[in-house]
């Protein structure tokens, strides 16, 4: 299940990144209008960061909520088996490592999309 979750996360982040980068053409005009209106470049960078943060944060936040609920139900239903076979400590370590891997993936996708988006609207 963990491997499937990582693969699904990569697919979802790739789609999110491509969608934002494909829409950068529309946003180039909008951000150029803001520049002509006198909005500072630092403020434009913050707006881009907020926009990407929203579009990446919304599905990731929903996934965290649903995943936490599913994990809670899974652990509650299989409490005796988990304790007998692997223990809660080992399960917590595995979940923590998986969460760290997913966080690194999210960070890499977010930063690369942010850099490429800024280049696309500056061109």
Q: Report if pTM > 0.75.
A: yes
| 14-65 pLDDT per residue, tens | 999 999 999 888 888 889 999 999 999 999 999 999 999 999 999 889 988 9
CB 107 within 8 A of CB 10: no
50-64 per-residue burial string, b: 16 or more CB within 10 A, e: under 16:
eebeebbeeebeeee
pLDDT of residue 123: 63
């Amino acid at each position: 299940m963990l491997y499937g979750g990582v693969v699904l996360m990569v697919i979802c982040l790739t789609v999110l990144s491509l969608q934002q980068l494909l829409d950068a053409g529309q946003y180039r005009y909008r951000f150029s209008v803001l520049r002509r209106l006198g909005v500072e470049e630092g403020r434009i960078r913050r707006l881009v960061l907020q926009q990407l943060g929203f579009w990446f944060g919304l599905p990731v936040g929903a996934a965290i909520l649903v995943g936490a609920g599913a994990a809670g139900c899974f652990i509650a239903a299989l409490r005796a088996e988990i304790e007998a076979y692997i223990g809660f400590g080992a399960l917590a370590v595995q979940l923590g490592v998986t969460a760290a891997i997913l966080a690194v993936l999210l960070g890499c996708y977010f930063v690369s999309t942010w850099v490429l988006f800024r280049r696309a609207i500056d061109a």
